[in-house]
Amino acid sequence: MLELKGLSFSVVEKNENGEEKRRDIIDAMDFTFEAGKFYAITGPNGSGKTTLSRLIMGINQPTAGRIFFEGKDITGMTITERATAGISYSFQQPARFKGVTFRDLLSVAAKTEKEEKLLEIVRRVGICPLSFLDKPVDSTLSGGEIKKIELATTIARNPKLAIYDEPDTGIDLWTIMPMVNLLKKEQIEHKTTTIVVSHNRSFLDVADDILIVDHGKLRYHGNLKNALPMLNDFRICSFNPCPEGEQDAQCFR
Amino acid sequence: MLSALDKDLLKSVADLEDIPKGAYNIRKNGKLESRSVSAHINIESDEERDGIIVTIAPGTINESVHIPVILSESGLNDVVYNTFVVGAGSDVTIIAGCGIHCGGPEPEGHEGIHEFRVGKGAKVKYVEKHYAAGQGYGKRTLNPTTKVFLEENAHVEMELTQISGVDEANRINEAVLGAGSSLVIMERVMTEGDQKAVSRNEITLAGENSSANMVSRSVIKGNSRQNFYATMVARQKCFGHIECDAIIMDNGANETIPALRAEHPDAELSHEASIGKIAGDQLMKLMSLCLSYEEAVNMIIQGFLR
Ligand SMILES: Nc1ncnc2c1ncn2[C@@H]1O[C@H](COP(=O)(O)OP(=O)(O)OP(=O)(O)O)[C@@H](O)[C@H]1O
Ligand SMILES: [Mg+2]
C-alpha cells in the first residue's frame, strides 16, 4: 500500500576540514509496506527513522526517489493532500501551540465538534483522561501528556496509514502496555496499516514485521526472532562509528 | 434609533444583539444615544468634561454595565472622559468598546479615557473591544487610555482587544496597585495593511503583596507595525510579570520593550518576550490533520489571540 522507490534525503554538510560533503540521511531506500500490517521500525539514534517518516508525510521533500501510496505517486503532493489521502503522522516532538486546546485539535482531526463524538474518541483512545479535552496544547503540558494527545489526534483521523514516531517517549510504565494494545487493536479493528518507530521491546513484540534502519539504509526486514542478533549487536550503534570496511575490534569498544 | 449598521457595530464591540439588559450608556457620534441605570449602578453625565461618571454601589454583585461608543459619521473626532467608581466589595463586569464605521473620505476617530477607581476588595472585569469597518478611505483612529487605581485587595481583569480595521491606535494603560490587590491585563491586537498600533503600559505595584500580570499578543500582517512598551515598577514586596508575544506575517514590523524596575529588595519581577513567524511545526501538525496552509494559519492566529 506504501511503496518507497530509491528514496533519498541528502543534505550538504561541512566536515572538519571545512569541505562540503553530501550526506545521505536516507540512502536510496526501497521498500513496500503491505496493507493492514503492523511494522516496527527501530535503529540507532540519528539513523534516519524520523526523516523517513517525515518524507512519507510530506514534511520533508526527498532529494531523489519516489513514494507511491495505494498505487498512486504522491511524491509531489503536499502534506494536506497526503493527509486527505489517508496518511497520518504522530510527531516525535509534537508542536506546542498557544490558545489551541486538545478539543480544537481533536475536532479538526475528527472533522466534528459534537461533544458526544469527541468523548467517544477519547474513550476509544483510552489513555487520555476526559479532563484533557479543554487543556491547552501549550508549553504547560508535560512530555507524556503531549505525546498522548498527539497519538489521540492521529487515531481520531481514522487513517489508512498511521505512523507513530516514538509514541512511548515520556509515557509512564502504566500506560505503555495500554498504548501498545491500543495500536494493535486499531490495526486489527480498523485495518490500519501501522508503522511504529520505537526502541521499546513491547512494540517490537506485537509487530508483524521489524525493520532496522541504520545510516539511512534498511539493514533488516523480517520477524523479531531473526532480528534479535542484530538488536544485541553493538556494532550497529553509531555512537562509535567504524571507518568503512574496517572490522577492527577497537572500534566497537 | 439604532440603525442596522449601528447594530452591527454594537455586535462587534459589545456582543450585543440589541439594547442590553441592566445599566448601559450608548454613545453615538459624540452624543448620548440612550442610557439606563439600575438600583445599584448609577450613570450620570460629567459636568466638567464630555463623558460619564459610572458609580457602582458597594457590595453590588454580579451586575454588568455596557458603555459602547459608535461612530458612523465621517469627519468626526470624538473625545470622551469616563470615570468608574467601583464600591468596596462589589463584583461587576464593565463592557466598553468602540465601533467605527467609516463611509466617507474624512478621518474619524475616538479618544476615550477611562478612569477606574476600584474600592477595597472589589472585583472588576473590564472588556474593551475596538473595531472599525466601512468602505470609506478616511483614516480611522482610536486612542484609548485606561487609568486604574486599585485599593486594598481589589482585583481587576482587563481584556483589551483591537479586532480589525483600525488604521492608527495609540493605547495607554496606567495602573497603580494598592496592598494585596491584583491586576491581569490581556491585550490582543491584530493589524494589517499599513496600520499602526502602539501600546504603552505603566504598572506601578505600590502596595505590599500586590501582583500584576500583563499579557500582550500581537499579530502583525501586511506592512503593518506594532510597538509594545511596558514598564512595571515595584515599590514593595510584590509580584509582577510581563509576557509579550508577537507573530509577524508578511512584511510587518514589531518593536517590543518590556522594562522592569524594582525599588524594593523583595520585589519579584519577570518578563518573557518573543517575536517571530508562525512556527513551522504548528503549521505542519495542522496540515497533517488535513487543514490547508491558509486554514492552518487561521487556526493558529485565532488560538493565539484567544
Ligand atoms: N534537514 C536536515 N538537515 C540536516 N541534517 C538533518 C536534517 N534532518 C535530519 N538531519 C540529521 O539526520 C540524522 C537522522 O535524523 P533523524 O531525526 O531521522 O534520526 P532518528 O533515527 O529519528 O533518531 P532518533 O532515534 O534519535 O529519533 C540526524 O543526524 C539529524 O541530525
Ligand atoms: Mg526520531
Give residue-wise pLDDT tens across range B263-281: 999 999 999 999 999 999 9
**E strand or H helix that includes residue A212:** strand A209-214
Of A57, A100, A104, the CB nearest to B288: A57
As a whole number, mean pLDDT of residues B80-94 equals 94
Give residue-wise pLDDT tens across range B173-192: 999 999 999 999 999 999 99
Q: Which residue on chain A is closest to B282 by alpha carbon?
A: A95
Q: What is the pLDDT of residue B108?
A: 78
Please tell me the distance between residue A51's alpha carbon and the centre of ligand 1 in angstroms: 6
pLDDT band with cut points at 50, 70 and 90 for residue B111: confident
pLDDT band with cut points at 50, 70 and 90 for residue A253: very low
Strands B123-133 and B91-101: parallel
As a whole number, mean pLDDT of residues B224-248 equals 95
Say if CB B286 and CB A83 are below 8 A apart.
no
Is the Cβ atom of A212 under 6 angstroms away from ligand 1? no
Query: Do the Cβ atoms of A80 and B293 come within 8 Å?
Result: yes
**What are B166's three cell numbers?**
483600525
Neighbours of B4 (CB within 10 A): 6
Q: What is the pLDDT of residue A130?
A: 84
Give residue-wise pLDDT tens across range B201-220: 999 999 999 999 999 999 99
What percent of chain B lies above the pLDDT cut of 90? 65
Give residue-wise pLDDT tens across range A103-135: 999 999 999 889 889 898 888 888 888 888 899
Query: Do the Cβ atoms of A93 and B285 come within 8 Å?
Result: no
Neighbours of A222 (CB within 10 A): 12
pLDDT at A250 over 50: no
Is the Cβ atom of A25 under 6 angstroms away from ligand 1? yes
pLDDT at A237 over 50: yes
Query: Chain B neighbours among A 80-99 (CB < 8 Å)?
Result: 80, 83-84, 88-89, 91, 93-99
- Ligand 1 atom nearest residue A48's Cα: 18
Q: Which residue on chain A is closest to B281 by alpha carbon?
A: A95
Minimum distance, in Å, between the CA of residue B269 and any CA atom of chain A: 20
As a whole number, mean pLDDT of residues B19-37 equals 83
Strands A161-165 and A193-197: parallel
Say if CB B127 and CB B93 are below 8 A apart.
yes
Minimum distance, in Å, between the CA of residue B202 and any CA atom of chain A: 25
As a whole number, mean pLDDT of residues A5-20 equals 89
DSSP class of residue A133 equals G
Q: Where are the beta strands (DSSP E) in chain B?
A: 23-28, 31-36, 41-45, 52-56, 61-71, 77-86, 91-101, 108-118, 123-133, 140-142, 145-150, 155-164, 168-177, 182-191, 196-205, 210-220, 225-234, 238-248, 253-262, 267-276
As a whole number, mean pLDDT of residues A168-185 equals 91
Q: Which residue on chain A is closest to B303 by alpha carbon?
A: A99
Do you know the residue count of chain B?
306
* 3-state SS, residue A92: coil
Q: What is the pLDDT of residue A242?
A: 47
Q: Given ligand 1 and candidates A15, A24, A50, which is best to mutate, with the most ligand atoms within 8 Å of its CB?
A: A50
As a whole number, mean pLDDT of residues B47-57 equals 91
Q: What is the pLDDT of residue A246?
A: 45
- Please state the ipTM of this predicted complex: 0.90
CA distances, B207 to each of A213, B20, B69, B154, B183 (Å): 62, 37, 34, 11, 12
Of B287, B303, B305, the CB nearest to A97: B303
Is the Cβ atom of A47 under 6 angstroms away from ligand 1? yes
Residue A61 sits at the chain B interface (C-beta within 8 Å) = no
Range of lowest pLDDT (A13-22, B96-105, B111-120, B154-163): B96-105
Q: What is the pLDDT of residue A162?
A: 96
**What are A9's three cell numbers?**
534525503
| Average confidence score pLDDT of chain A | 89
Q: What is the pLDDT of residue A149?
A: 93
Instruction: Give residues whose Cβ lies within 5 Å of ion ligand 2.
Output: A 49-50, 92
- Ligand 1 atom nearest residue A44's Cα: 25
Q: What is the pLDDT of residue A248?
A: 43
Q: Which residue on chain B is closest to A81 by alpha carbon?
A: B290
Give residue-wise pLDDT tens across range A184-228: 999 999 999 999 999 999 999 999 999 999 999 999 999 888 888
More confident position, A234 or A53 = A53
pLDDT band with cut points at 50, 70 and 90 for residue A74: very high
Fold classification of A2-233 is Rossmann fold (3.40.50)
Range of lowest pLDDT (A47-51, A242-246, B241-245): A242-246
Per-domain boundaries in chain A: 2-233
Residue A113 sits at the chain B interface (C-beta within 8 Å) = no
As a whole number, mean pLDDT of residues A68-83 equals 95
pLDDT band with cut points at 50, 70 and 90 for residue B163: confident
Q: What is the pLDDT of residue A224?
A: 87
